[in-house]
Structures are given as C-alpha cells and as structure tokens.
C-alpha cells in the first residue's frame, strides 16, 4: 500500500521534456512511477492539475529565520521544497561570541530574531545540532558566509588577513565542510567581505575543493565593472578547482544594460574550458539590499554603531554625498544605479515606519527635507539597519539571462518577517517566474521553466535524489492549477500567498494543502555529499 497515490495528473518531470499524463505513488518518502496498485492511505485526484518536482531555491537567506512560521509562509506557499541558504557571505554560523554583535548587525537585514543559542554556534556542527531540532516544512543546504567567517576571526577590520588569520578561517571552513556545508559564499560589496583580496577568496575556496563544494558569489560589482567582476569570480573557480555560482546575475544601471552579452559569453567560455560555472536569477527588474549599501563600504569598517555616529557630522555627510554622486568613486554605487533618490524605495526602516513604502524623494517631500538629509536621517534613526529596493534593471537583460542554459532560479528573498515590508521576490519568485516568463511573455515553455527551477538546479547544485520525478527519488512535489497559478506579491504588498498551488509535498509528506499547513514538518538540513 502506498502512503500517497496521485492520480490523473499532468506530469512535468523536471528534465525539460514534454509533459505526460499519469499516476505517481509515494512510499516511505520515495517516488514510485507507474504504480501497480490503487491502494493508498491518501489518494489525490489531480485531474486538471500539474505535478512538478518541488521547486529548488538556488539562492535563499532562509537560514536567518530557519524553523519559524514565517519561513514556511515565505517558501512553502510558493512551492519551494529545498533552499540553498547562507548566501552573499551572510550565514548564521559559524560565529564567535566575542564578535557576535557585529555578526548580528550584519544579518539584521534578513532577520529580527536571534536565538539565545546562537552564541554557541562556534562550529558548523554545533549549529546543525540546533537546526536539527527545528520543525521544518522545507529542506535546506547551507553555505558558510565569508563575512560571517571573517568577522568571527578578525572583526570588521578593513585590511588583508594575516597568514595566521587566514589559516584560522581555513580551519573553521574545513570543519564546516566536514560537517556537511554545501560550500562557501561571498558578498563582495558588503563589509567586511569587500575588504578581502582575490587571493584570500581563492585560498578559502581551495578548502572546499576536496568536498566538491560550491563557491557562490555576490560579486564585487554588478554595474560599471561587472565584466571584470565576472572574470574574477570565474578565476576563483579556475584557481581553486571548484564549481561557481554567480549569484543573482544582473546588469545594474542604465549605462550597463546589454553587458550580459559579454558576461554570458564569459560563462560559456569558462564551461568550455572545463570550469563549471552557472548563475542564478530572480525574475524582477528591481533589486534589493540595505540602504547603507548605497554608501562607499570603506566608511563602514568600524561597524553600524560607529557609522551612525559619524553620519551626525554635517561635514561627513558632505563627503559621503560627494563620493556617492561621483561615478568615478570605486564601488558598486546603488544610488547611481537606480538613477538617484527617485529610484530608491524604502522597504524597511522600523524606527521611522512613516518612511516605509515610499521612495526617498516622496518621504523627503512628506517631512519637508531635501532627499539627502532624509536619507541620512533614516540611516541615523535606524542605526543603519535599513532596507531599500532599487529600480536598476532592464527587462530585455532579464530575458536574455533567464534564457541562458547555465541560468537557474533563486529568490534572494530577505525574509525577516511576514509582517515586514520587503521585495515580492521573497514570497513570489517561483510562481512569478512561471506567470512572467511563460504565461505573459512566452519566452520559455512551462517545461523549460520548471526544468530551470528543479532538475537543472539539482544538477548544478549537486543535490542528490531531488529535482526530478523519477523512480526512487525523494518525494518532493508541487501540485498546482496552471490556469489559476498567480503570484500575488507586489512592491506595495510584498508578502502575499500564491494562488493556484493545491499541494506541497516534502520527503513524502503533505505539508501544505489548499492554502493551509498540515502541521507536518519533514524538512531536513541536508548534508553535502551525504
């Protein structure tokens, strides 16, 4: 007898091949194709519905709210069954207790809660002990974040690591890989990751090579110097001998639109050379990060508290403004990329909630200040713990990137709280990819889109027994009504439940059914290579 029998559905198996009609059995958490019995504890009639492998989020920050109700709301309700967390150099562990405040300041863009046990996460194994006790509706694999690693060893200092410090970081990373980390991530626009040399990154990436680990990078630049940044990222893969994921690949700022022609060629050339390089994308034309990321990163080397103090000085504000307005200032300038303050939208500023949901120019007009003073005051009043959405991308570039055979899908969703404002990608990326690229724009078939969100992701991300509807594979499935499928998240209402998803099944158990959670929590922290 099967645990679950799914009958009469349209099956899209994740390979990219055409759909077909059929039945699927589930027993002991595994898939049984062409089931030879109609006996089952639970029968689902999928007539008129589509059955797909569970969606794989290649780029998530879900480790920051792991096990919470919010985590389930953001991921499970859009059909995600497995996520890759610890991205952009920002992972919840390993940490050192002495520098814990700096780590928590850095991670605050993605969570408003830090467990008391966090002070004990000095090794990856110790973090896993905590995580394994949580009730999860989703599977997770986790990278070790470079900023977290660097803060643990050398705080927020703006300098190259010494040999001793680098050796210490290598040891911490090696323990994490031995314990089951998926690899190593960087966020090379964020402090303190931005302070690292290419040589430091290469030496750390070499640690993950014996474990078939993945190097995932938010590159040093996604605008004026994006070509150079892609070359650096590929070179890390070349020198360390590891596979590379270019995170949320995009071209920021109108002067840089079209440069994907060159970056995609670099990715293809690298693969022909034998360097395994792929990239992930979220299906939107606005990006999102902290508001303080608009400022040159060298000013943040003393941490958020000190930066907040310095911003009270009128002369310092003038200096920051000069640097931000100068296109020759050497950093990834989100202010210029968005075309100035009319293109910067405040989504998170808890001490000044009246600014949330408004562009900087709108908020400035509301309070009777010029936009620069409004911006600096928001940063001061919120201790630089803020979030912004930036209108910086071209739709044509987004289309080119998703069509690329080395591109898969990642939400990059910062999932602080379901009650907080954010970016619609956090709760809507995967249904939006279908409605946007397939239903509306018709640039991919449904089978091609599902392939990029399941089977291709599992292949590139070294994810065993997932991503395909295949005999013996893990029973991670999404059952949805294609005609009714619709993401409902918007920039004004960023956290919203997807329409048209009937069932989400994880490791053989139904976790979500007709917009209700079942209470089952079969999700796991997946160990790499295990």
pLDDT at res. 416: 76
pLDDT of residue 420: 83
| Residue 34: pLDDT band with limits 50, 70, 90 | confident
Q: What is the pLDDT of residues 302-323, one digit of tens each?
A: 888 899 999 999 999 999 999 9
Q: What does the block give as tokens for 17?
A: 């091949």
502-512: average pLDDT: 98
Q: Residue 216: enclosing H or E segment and its boundaries? A: strand 214-218
State whether residue 146 is helix, strand or coil. Answer: helix
What span, in angstroms and rounded, lies between the C-alpha atoms of 3 and 174? Answer: 40
Interval 407-417 mean pLDDT: 90
Degrees to nearest 5, angle at CA 406 with 257 and 475? 130
- SS3 state at 50: strand
527: pLDDT confidence band, cut at 50, 70 and 90? Answer: very high
Structure tokens, 467: 């991503």
Measured CA angle at 73 (ends 69, 74), to 5 deg: 120
Q: Is 471 exposed, middle or buried (0-12, 13-18, 19+ CB in 10 A)?
A: exposed
3-class DSSP state of 76: helix
How far apart are alpha carbons 468 and 63 in whole angstroms?
24
DSSP secondary structure string for all residues of 391-403: E---HHHHHHHHH
Sort strands 407-409 and 277-281 into parallel, antiparallel or unpaired: parallel
pLDDT digit string (tens) for 158-196?
999 999 999 999 999 999 999 999 999 999 999 999 999
> What strands lie across the sheet with 286-289, from one edge to the other?
286-289, 387-391, 344-348, 358-359
Q: Identify the pLDDT of residue 347.
A: 86
User: What six digits make up the tokens of 470?
Assistant: 């295949």
Residue 32 has pLDDT above 90, yes or no: yes
Nearest 5°: phi and psi at 301?
A: -70, -20
What average pLDDT does the chain have? 96
What angle, rounded to 10 degrees, do the helices at 163-179 and 124-131 form? 40
pLDDT at 491: 86
- Per-residue pLDDT tens over the stretch 375-405: 999 999 999 988 899 999 999 999 999 999 9
Question: What are the backbone dihedrals phi and psi of residue 525, each rounded to the nearest 5 degrees, phi first?
Answer: -85, 105
Whether residue 415 is predicted with pLDDT greater than 80 in this model: the reply is: no
Best CA proximity match to 74, nearest among 419, 406, 521, 395? 419
| Confidence bin at 108 (pLDDT 50/70/90) | confident
Q: Hey, what are 188's tokens?
A: 């090379």
Q: What is the pLDDT of residues 418-449, one digit of tens each?
A: 988 889 999 999 999 999 999 999 999 999 99
pLDDT digits (tens, 9 = 90+) for 230-286: 999 999 999 999 999 999 999 999 999 999 999 999 999 999 999 999 999 999 999
Distance CA 415, CA 65 (A): 7
For residues 191-208, give the mean pLDDT. 97
Given the DSSP bridges, would you call strands 501-506 and 509-513 parallel, antiparallel or unpaired? antiparallel
Q: What φ, ψ does residue 250 adopt, rounded to 5°?
A: -165, 165
Does the pLDDT at position 38 exceed 90?
A: no
For the chain, counts of helices (H) and of strands (E): 17, 21
> Tell me, what's the pLDDT at 327?
94
- β-strands 286-289, 387-391: how paired? antiparallel
Instruction: Quote the CA–CA distance of 142 and 155 in Å, as a whole number.
Output: 22
pLDDT of residue 385: 87
**pTM for this structure?**
0.94
Q: Give residue 158's pLDDT.
A: 94
């Amino acid at each position: 007898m099967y645990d679950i029998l799914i009958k009469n559905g349209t099956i899209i198996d994740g390979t990219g091949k055409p759909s077909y009609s059929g039945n699927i059995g589930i027993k002991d958490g595994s898939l049984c194709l062409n089931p030879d019995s109609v006996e089952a504890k639970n029968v689902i009639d999928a007539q008129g519905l589509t059955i797909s492998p569970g969606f794989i989020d290649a780029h998530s920050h879900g480790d920051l709210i792991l096990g919470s109700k919010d985590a389930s709301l953001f991921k499970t309700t859009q059909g995600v069954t497995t996520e890759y967390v610890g991205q952009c150099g920002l992972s919840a562990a390993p940490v050192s207790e002495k520098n814990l405040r700096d780590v928590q300041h850095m991670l605050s863009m993605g969570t408003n809660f830090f467990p008391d046990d966090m002070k004990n996460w000095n090794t990856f194994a110790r973090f896993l002990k905590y995580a394994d006790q949580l009730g999860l509706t989703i599977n997770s694999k986790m990278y070790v974040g470079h900023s977290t690693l660097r803060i643990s060893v050398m705080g927020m200092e703006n300098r190259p690591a010494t040999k001793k410090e680098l050796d210490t970081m290598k040891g911490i990373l090696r323990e994490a890989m031995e314990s089951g980390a998926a690899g190593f991530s960087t966020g090379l626009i964020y402090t303190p990751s931005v302070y690292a040399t290419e040589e430091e990154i290469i030496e750390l990436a070499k640690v993950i090579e014996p474990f078939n680990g993945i190097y995932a990078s938010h590159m040093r630049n996604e605008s004026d110097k994006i070509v150079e940044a892609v070359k650096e990222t590929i070179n890390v893969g070349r020198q360390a001998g590891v596979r590379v994921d270019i995170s949320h690949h995009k071209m920021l700022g109108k002067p840089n639109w079209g440069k994907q022609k060159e970056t995609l060629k670099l990715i293809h050339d690298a693969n022909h050379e034998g360097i395994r390089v792929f990239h992930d994308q979220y299906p939107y034309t606005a990006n999102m990060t902290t508001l303080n990321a608009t400022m040159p990163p060298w000013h943040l080397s003393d941490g958020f508290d000190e930066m907040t103090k310095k911003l009270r000085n009128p002369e310092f504000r003038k200096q920051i403004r000069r640097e931000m307005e100068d296109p020759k200032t050497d950093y990834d300038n989100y202010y210029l990329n968005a075309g100035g303050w009319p293109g910067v939208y405040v989504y998170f500023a808890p001490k000044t909630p009246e600014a949330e949901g408004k562009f900087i120019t709108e908020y400035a007009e509301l309070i009777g200040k010029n936009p620069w003073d409004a911006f600096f005051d928001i940063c001061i009043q919120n201790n630089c713990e803020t979030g912004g959405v930036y209108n910086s991308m071209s739709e044509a570039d987004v289309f080119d990137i998703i069509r690329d055979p080395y591109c898969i899908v990642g939400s990059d969703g910062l999932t602080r709280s379901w009650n907080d404002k954010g970016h619609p990608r956090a709760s809507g990326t995967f249904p939006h990819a279908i409605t946007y690229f397939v239903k509306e724009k018709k640039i991919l078939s449904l089978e091609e889109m599902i392939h990029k969100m399941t089977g291709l992701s599992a292949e590139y991300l070294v994810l065993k027994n997932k991503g395909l509807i295949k005999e013996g594979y893990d029973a991670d499935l999404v059952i949805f009504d294609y005609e009714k499928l619709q993401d409902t998240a918007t920039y004004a209402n960023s956290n919203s439940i997807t329409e048209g998803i009937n069932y989400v099944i994880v490791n053989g158990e139904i976790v979500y059914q007709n917009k209700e959670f079942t209470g089952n929590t079969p999700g796991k922290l997946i160990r790499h290579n295990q």
